[in-house]
Structure 1
Amino acid sequence: MESQPHPSENSRPRKYRPVEAVLMETSEVAAMLSMSTSWVYRKASKLGLKGYKLGRGKNAKALYKRAEVFKWLEQQKVH
Structure 2
Amino acid sequence: MFESSVIEIDGIFVGIVCQNGPDEPYRFRAMHERVTQMDGDILPTFEAAVTQARSRFRLGRAKVSRAMEPARLQA
TM-score (norm 2): 0.29
Which structure shows the higher helix fraction? 1
Ranked by relative contact order (alpha carbons within 8 Å, sequence separation 6 or more), the top structure is 1
TM-score by length of 1: 0.27
